[in-house]
Amino acid sequence: MGMLHHVSLGTADLNRARAFYDLVMRELGLRRTLDVEDAVGYGAGITVFSLNIPADGKPASAGNGVHLAFEVEARSAVDAFHAAALAQGGVCEGPPGLRPEYDANYYAAFVRDPDGNKIEAVTFVAS
């Protein structure tokens, strides 16, 4: 049994988050699994990732040095994730490509969502 159940990031605008993540998460094989007044979530069955309006009522802010990585099964999924994110208003933080400083087959792309949260798609598949 794993210890990590889900991860949540803050958003200032749930409608904008839905529009961005519905398409981006689809490229990772995830779908919307939660949609309530203050949160939207994604998963393959249960919710593993969500965007929430902060419970304290203060503005959402991206964490400095924080990012979430989603593992996928093919380099083409990394490419599709990156393209979908940019098409939905995301900002490139590192285009798809090898990162041999991490592993010879570490192929990843990094983006910031419209709230400034940094997310990554990664695969270790050799080609």
Who's near 99: CB < 8 A, 6+ residues apart? 106, 107, 108
Please spell the DSSP secondary structure of 4-23, one letter per residue: ---EEEE-S-HHHHHHHHHH
Q: What are the tens digits of pLDDT across the range 28-77? A: 999 999 999 999 999 999 999 999 999 998 999 998 899 999 999 999 99
pTM value? 0.93
